[in-house]
């Protein structure tokens, strides 16, 4: 068994994808989304021999029967006859048989290709949950781990003219040392959950660019792949143009219209290098902390937030698949009066982030270091850091993101402090223009006194914590007299509070899971939180009821965490109005 784990780990480690940068946005892409064939493989027959020694993957499913040369061998699978599934999309909501499934699924589609002289080709995945191995025409391109961030492989030398077989092994088995770990409160949606694209670039191309604004000037750094050449950068509306030769340029003394929720101004930017050209939309703003205030563009701001999962609104909701799915959630948050979103508990899609930016939401983006992960494992740390870098690289240029958050409700111990301390140092090394946080916990020292005591708060810019007075602790009325002891001198964000209610379940306001109870809970919590000195923002937990296998209560939960202000179909509970009235009054 040990040998098997070792061989599997070795295979997974040696073929890592190319990383860094902005490969897909603003470029010529062919979406490979659509109907793919799939084979469910709970025993990993496509990988292992019957004695569990590692089967050379090229001799099994990657060979793709359709293209299989050796017709004399017994082949017990056929992608062409296998059922079809939508990509992007989770498998759990597309087949009743796969609703609770955690294991391996093989995907296959064919890709028509016509080579062009002087071009290179990359295969880009928006996200695959959780692990995957990708092959084309029987050549394994590599593997990726981490369910919410993009990765890509160069396929220039692998694609052949005509039809190509693209096979992806996906596995969403949870693991003790993974990020997230075995236990978490959301649905483990498996599959190729975000778009797959074929991207073409010239021999020398812009691999990455980063733009930032410090209040007086705009800095741009670019990096190239395949050679060196000058890069021209233009922001036409500001009349800015420069040729970058050494990888960096600064436009001094510029006065752009600043991005803010009331005026989410974005500018077109064009970068060109030889035949390569990328276009994007970027905003300019500053964010910093002064004492216990958060300053956006130099002025104190109150974050009227809500937390949400990347799960669509609908009768059978699943992982969001499209811009329309993201828009429906964002419109609900707009109606609630929000100017801020906590994108919980892992990186949401790029579409979600971009649309939120256009619509004027400040954003908190988060890593799935959730509850009690394996703090002492160096491999777990490396995994978390990779996910962090992939998230930051994808979204560095989004002005809407004001906070990177590294963890949620993690237990206090030295290993965790060191692990998260290293992640925080990494964030600061890569980005000095944003705030760093982590959602901490509060403790009741007795029913009337709550404390937030956590050495991690010394490393973050903001003291953020989750609290559930009136739900997991006490009653809504207890909010009236609860006293708080919170580290002083930093801004405070209450990153979660709330309770459960089933939409349409009415009764007295002392009855759990009724809309009336939840409305009272919110009224009492909002009064209590408003009294906290240094309060800079709040995030009700959460916008929409979301699927969670930890919530089986029949007739009420039925596999949904019912703490949404709207239910899974978008219907508003009474508490929605309570929060909206509060936001209108601030």
Judged by the rule CB under 6 A, the positions of this chain that interact with ligand GCB are 185, 345, 408-409, 466, 496, 541, 561, 563
Q: Taking a C-beta distance cutoff of 8 angstroms, is the pair 92, 156 a contact?
A: no
Of residues 141 and 494, the one with the C-beta less far from ligand GCB:
494
The nearest distance, CB 439 to ligand GCB, in angstroms, is: 7
**Would you give the distance in Å from CA 202 to the centre of its chain?**
30
Of residues 267 and 541, the one with the C-beta less far from ligand GCB:
541
Question: Where does 255-322 have alpha helices with state H?
Answer: none
The nearest distance, CB 319 to ligand GCB, in angstroms, is: 16
The nearest distance, CB 499 to ligand GCB, in angstroms, is: 9
Of residues 307 and 526, the one with the C-beta less far from ligand GCB:
307
Which residue minimizes CB distance to ligand GCB? 185
Q: Taking a C-beta distance cutoff of 8 angstroms, is the pair 224, 141 a contact?
A: no
Of residues 345 and 348, the one with the C-beta less far from ligand GCB:
345
The nearest distance, CB 561 to ligand GCB, in angstroms, is: 5
The nearest distance, CB 565 to ligand GCB, in angstroms, is: 13
Q: Taking a C-beta distance cutoff of 8 angstroms, is the pair 551, 295 a contact?
A: no
The nearest distance, CB 375 to ligand GCB, in angstroms, is: 18
199, 260, 406 from 453: Cα distances, Å: 48, 33, 18
Angle (nearest 5°) at CA 29 between 358 and 132: 95
Of residues 98 and 493, the one with the C-beta less far from ligand GCB:
493
The nearest distance, CB 308 to ligand GCB, in angstroms, is: 11
- Using left for φ > 0, alpha for ψ between -120 and 50, and beta otherwise, residue 147 falls in alpha
- Using left for φ > 0, alpha for ψ between -120 and 50, and beta otherwise, residue 558 falls in left
Of residues 67 and 468, the one with the C-beta less far from ligand GCB:
468
Q: Taking a C-beta distance cutoff of 8 angstroms, is the pair 480, 524 a contact?
A: yes
Nearest residue to 262 (alpha-carbon basis) of 340, 325, 342: 340
Residues 25 and 29: their CA atoms lie apart, in Å, by 9
Q: Taking a C-beta distance cutoff of 8 angstroms, is the pair 382, 241 a contact?
A: no
Of residues 60 and 544, the one with the C-beta less far from ligand GCB:
544
Residues 224 and 230: their CA atoms lie apart, in Å, by 10
Of residues 41 and 409, the one with the C-beta less far from ligand GCB:
409
End-to-end CA gap in the chain: 60
Residues 223 and 202: their CA atoms lie apart, in Å, by 14
Of residues 36 and 404, the one with the C-beta less far from ligand GCB:
404
Beta bridge partner(s), residue 167: 108, 135
Nearest residue to 126 (alpha-carbon basis) of 410, 353, 458: 353
Nearest residue to 57 (alpha-carbon basis) of 102, 13, 87, 12: 12
Of residues 130 and 541, the one with the C-beta less far from ligand GCB:
541
The nearest distance, CB 91 to ligand GCB, in angstroms, is: 23
Of residues 143 and 408, the one with the C-beta less far from ligand GCB:
408
SS3 225: strand
The nearest distance, CB 498 to ligand GCB, in angstroms, is: 7
The nearest distance, CB 243 to ligand GCB, in angstroms, is: 48
Token reading at 534: 């240094």
Q: Quick one: angle between helices 350-359 and 378-395, nearest 10?
A: 40
- Using left for φ > 0, alpha for ψ between -120 and 50, and beta otherwise, residue 242 falls in beta
Residues 560 and 568: their CA atoms lie apart, in Å, by 9
The nearest distance, CB 514 to ligand GCB, in angstroms, is: 17
State the burial class of residue 81 (Cβ atoms within 10 Å of its Cβ: 0-12, 13-18, 19+).
exposed
Of residues 339 and 408, the one with the C-beta less far from ligand GCB:
408
The nearest distance, CB 579 to ligand GCB, in angstroms, is: 16
SS3 98: helix
The nearest distance, CB 541 to ligand GCB, in angstroms, is: 6
Beta bridge partner(s), residue 122: 154, 199
- Residue length, the chain? 586
SS3 52: coil
Of residues 206 and 479, the one with the C-beta less far from ligand GCB:
479
């Amino acid at each position: 068994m040990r040998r098997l784990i070792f061989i599997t780990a070795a295979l997974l480690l040696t073929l890592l994808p190319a990383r860094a940068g902005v490969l897909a946005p603003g470029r010529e892409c062919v979406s490979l989304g659509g109907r793919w064939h799939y084979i469910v493989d709970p025993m990993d027959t496509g990988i292992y021999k019957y004695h569990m020694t590692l089967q050379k993957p090229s001799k099994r499913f990657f060979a793709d029967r359709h293209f299989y040369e050796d017709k004399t061998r017994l082949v017990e699978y056929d992608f062409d006859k296998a059922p079809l599934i939508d990509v992007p999309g989770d498998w759990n909501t597309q087949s009743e048989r796969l609703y609770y499934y955690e294991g391996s699924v093989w995907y296959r589609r064919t890709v028509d290709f016509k080579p062009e002289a002087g071009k290179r080709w990359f295969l880009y995945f928006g996200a695959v949950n959780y692990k995957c191995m990708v092959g084309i025409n029987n050549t394994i391109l590599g593997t990726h781990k981490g369910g919410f961030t993009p990765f890509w492989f160069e396929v220039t030398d692998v694609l052949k003219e005509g039809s190509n077989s693209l096979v992806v092994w996906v596995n969403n088995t949870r693991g003790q040392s993974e990020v997230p770990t075995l236990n978490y409160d959301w649905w483990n949606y498996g599959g190729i959950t975000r778009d797959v694209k074929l991207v073409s670039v010239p021999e020398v191309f812009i691999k990455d660019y980063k733009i930032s604004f410090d209040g007086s000037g705009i800095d741009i750094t670019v990096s190239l792949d395949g050679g060196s050449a000058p890069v021209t950068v233009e922001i036409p509306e500001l009349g800015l143009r420069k040729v970058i030769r050494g990888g960096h340029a600064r436009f001094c003394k510029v006065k752009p219209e600043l991005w803010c929720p009331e005026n989410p101004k974005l500018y077109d930017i064009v970068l060109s290098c030889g035949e390569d050209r990328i276009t994007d939309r970027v905003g300019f703003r500053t964010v910093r902390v002064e004492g216990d205030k958060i300053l956006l563009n130099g002025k104190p701001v109150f974050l009227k937030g809500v937390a949400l999962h990347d799960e669509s609104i609908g009768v059978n909701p699943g992982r969001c698949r499209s811009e329309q799915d993201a828009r429906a959630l964002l419109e609900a948050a707009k109606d609630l009066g929000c100017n801020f979103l906590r994108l919980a508990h892992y990186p949401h899609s790029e579409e979600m982030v971009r649309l939120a930016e256009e619509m004027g939401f400040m954003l908190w983006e988060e890593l799935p270091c959730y509850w009690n992960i394996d703090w002492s494992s160096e491999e777990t740390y490396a995994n978390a850091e990779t996910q962090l870098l992939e998230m930051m690289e994808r979204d560095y240029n989004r002005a809407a993101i004001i906070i990177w958050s590294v963890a949620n409700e993690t237990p206090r111990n030295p290993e965790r402090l060191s692990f998260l301390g290293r992640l925080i140092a990494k964030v600061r090394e890569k980005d000095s223009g944003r705030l760093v946080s982590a959602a901490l916990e509060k403790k009741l020292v007795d029913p009337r006194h709550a404390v937030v005591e956590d050495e991690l708060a010394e490393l973050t810019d903001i003291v953020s914590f989750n609290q559930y007075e009136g739900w997991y602790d006490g009653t809504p009325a207890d909010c009236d007299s609860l006293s708080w002891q919170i580290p002083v001198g930093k801004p405070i964000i209450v990153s979660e509070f709330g309770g459960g209610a089933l939409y349409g379940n009415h009764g007295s306001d002392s009855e759990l899971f009724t809309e009336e109870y939840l409305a009272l809970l919110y009224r009492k919590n909002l009064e209590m939180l408003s009294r906290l000195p240094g309060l800079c923002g709040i995030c009700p937990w959460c916008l929409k009821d979301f699927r969670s296998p930890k919530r089986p209560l029949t007739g009420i939960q039925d596999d949904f965490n019912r703490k949404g202000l709207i239910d899974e179909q978008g219907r508003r509970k009474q508490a929605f109005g309570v929060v909206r009235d509060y936001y209108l009054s601030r």
